[in-house]
Amino acid sequence: MAEITAKMVMDLRKATGLGMMECKKALSESDGDVDAAIELLRKKGLAKAAKKADRTANEGLISIKKADDRHGVMLVINCETDFVARSDDFQALVAGLTDFFLNADVPSTCLGQAAPVEHLDNEIKAIPYKGQTVGDELTAAVAKIGENIQLGGLVLERSDDANDYLQEYKHGNRVGVLVCLTTGKPETHQNEKFIELAKDIAMQAAAAMPRVAEAVDRDGLDPAVVEKEKEILTEQAMAEGKPQEIAEKMVMGRINKFFGEVCLIEQPYIKDDKQTVMDIIKAVEGEIGDTIKVARFHRFQLGS
């Protein structure tokens, strides 16, 4: 049998756009003949998968699963059409990957990510899965299902702190949220008032769409984002012909309004817009006699 070199595998990957494991396997089956390997992959339908990679994939599924109140996963797998998203094959793919990621050994950079995973795409796709890799599994699914299928987002929450509590929420099939709250004592997690609050905060994150996902409060905002907003607001005030002193006061008022739009706990509460989310948290703290803090939250939306 011919020796399968790294260069042969790389050449086949360039020619087909497929993963390393699929290319190596095809070369082994074709005794190192690259042309025969390409033909073999074409017969399997895998070579077609690479050609679909540039097609828009804005549909799909958001899957959320918890192992317990401190360990959970939220996964987005995108496809091209809602028809495929509802198919048994696609749903089995998403369910299998969700179960896998719940306990998978993953790079630490994958933990607690609030944003889509473009910057981690290669790391995640390289994780071993079913004797191949996650990337190979997605490529095989493209060949089988016939649409572009992509990893759209991944959040892994794994906390060893007994005071942490993970609340999930899905709004229909298009929005998914994971919120991690921290209390002063673990027994608070059994309190009905706390459970109701946790669900309401998750619904808030889904419905009110904080524009800066990592911003629980204004301290969590990137200073550059705040400075840019102040710059824009100052130019707007000056364009209105306001004196410098008046313009500065206007900017302060408008920047506070900005915080109320993009920071989760400063937003108007969706069930009573005369109160903020922080007001509701403080009220529940008083009722149950414990501290409650929103540690972080993650929000994914199909087509965003």
303 within domain boundaries: yes
287 within domain boundaries: yes
**Are 43 and 170 found together in one domain?**
no
Domain that holds residue 104: 56-158
**Are 42 and 109 found together in one domain?**
no
User: Rounded to two decimals, what is the model's pTM?
Assistant: 0.77
Contact 74, 298 (CB under 8 A): yes
**Are 139 and 184 found together in one domain?**
no
**Are 180 and 294 found together in one domain?**
yes
CATH number at residue 179: 3.30.479.20
User: Number of structural domains, the chain?
Assistant: 4
Q: Residue 235 has which token pair? A: 């130019």
- Alpha-carbon distance of 86 to 80, in angstroms, equals 12
CATH number at residue 273: 1.10.286.20
Q: Which of 91, 292, 98 is nearest to 200 (CA)?
A: 292
What's the average pLDDT block by block, 10 residues per block, for the chain (304 residues)? 82 73 86 83 61 72 96 93 94 97 75 51 85 88 86 88 96 92 98 98 90 78 87 84 82 89 93 96 98 93 81
- Whole-number Cα distances in Å, 135 to 10, 19, 139, 195: 16, 7, 6, 38
Query: What was the pLDDT predicted at 175?
Result: 93
**Eight-state DSSP code of residue 217:** S
Contact 49, 150 (CB under 8 A): no
**Are 141 and 191 found together in one domain?**
no
Residues 6+ away with beta carbon under 8 Å from 118: none
**Are 239 and 191 found together in one domain?**
no
63 within domain boundaries: yes
**Are 65 and 83 found together in one domain?**
yes
Query: What was the pLDDT predicted at 114?
Result: 41
Look at the block and give the residue holding tokens 């009905």. Answer: 192
**Are 72 and 138 found together in one domain?**
yes
125 within domain boundaries: yes
CATH number at residue 25: 1.10.8.10
1 within domain boundaries: no
- Whole-number Cα distances in Å, 243 to 70, 237, 248, 249, 250: 53, 9, 9, 10, 10
16 within domain boundaries: yes
**Are 148 and 256 found together in one domain?**
no
**Are 95 and 223 found together in one domain?**
no
The runs of H, that is alpha helices, within 17-170 are 20-29, 34-44, 47-51, 82-85, 88-103, 121-125, 134-145
299 within domain boundaries: yes
**Are 144 and 173 found together in one domain?**
no
**Are 144 and 203 found together in one domain?**
no
